[in-house]
Amino acid sequence: MIVILFGPPGVGKGTQAQKLKDDKNLCHLSTGDMLRAAVAAGTELGKQAKSLMDAGDLVPDELVISIIKERIIEPDCAGGFILDGFPRTVAQAEGLDKMLKAVDKQLDFVFALEVDEEEIIDRRAGRMVGAKSGRVYHAVHNPPKVAGKCDETGEDLIQRDDDKAEVMRHRLKVYQEQTAPVAAWYEARGKLTRVDGMGSVEEVYGRLSAAMTN
């Protein structure tokens, strides 16, 4: 199974991807997590990505296309994968189309999560993440079992630098200008399913699960 989770920053893509991964035993491919890991490791890719990410801009298409292309042929992705945060431009969607054709695979679902802008602001304001695990929590709506610690690794949870209000405003603008057209691209190909992302994490996951079985 190959699933794309699509939507604006803070809509809940990473949260739902975690549930889908655990439930369906799929590989979770988050370009944001991969880029943050590259920044933390100080690789060449990380050096190129850091200033763009800090500013809330997109990393060049060819860089993210190549990391996904290398990743989807790894053995742990053989049973299927979830793309979270990719594709984010029409050029990336076209790149994905080509790479899937090359390995004779096709997309099963493209889910566009939709929530009100005010809800996005609330979700983002309370977000805490495990830097190593990539696990996402919310102080109120999706708290860890032990306050401030990741359930999976026990590491201290942190706030992401790009969750600062000013950067977040820019990320939403970048989303409208460069990423929103990707939904129309999939819609024109009959691939897009819009999913109401309001409500609890479990309620949203229930809608995603139902859409997969319909």
Q: What does the per-residue mask of binding to ligand AP5 show for 160-179, with x meaning CB under 6 A?
A: --x--------x--------
Judge whether 36 counts as a catalytic residue.
no
86: CB partners within 8 A, 6+ apart: 4, 29, 31, 64, 68, 92, 96
Asked if residue 130 binds ligand AP5 (CB under 6 A), the reply is: no
Beta bridge partners of 3: 82, 109
Chosen residue from 43, 153, 159, 200 binding ligand AP5 by CB under 6 A: 200
Look at residues 51, 34, 37 and name the one whose alpha carbon lies nearest to residue 167. Answer: 51
Asked if residue 72 binds ligand AP5 (CB under 6 A), the reply is: no
Judge whether 88 counts as a catalytic residue.
yes
Min dist CB 213 to ligand AP5, Å, is 20
Asked if residue 14 binds ligand AP5 (CB under 6 A), the reply is: yes
Judge whether 171 counts as a catalytic residue.
yes
Judge whether 135 counts as a catalytic residue.
no
Q: What does the per-residue mask of binding to ligand AP5 show for 75-114, with x meaning CB under 6 A?
A: ----------xx-x---x----------------------
CA 164, 165, 166, 171 dihedral sign is positive
Q: Is-contact 95 87, C-beta < 8 A?
A: yes
Beta bridge partners of 136: 129
Chosen residue from 4, 39, 204, 208 binding ligand AP5 by CB under 6 A: 204
Angle between helix 31-41 and 61-71 (nearest 10): 100
Longest Cα–Cα distance of the chain, Å, equals: 45
Binding residues for ligand AP5, rule: CB under 6 A, are: 7, 9-15, 31-32, 35, 52-53, 56-59, 64, 85-86, 88, 92, 123-124, 126-127, 136-138, 141-142, 162, 171, 200-201, 204
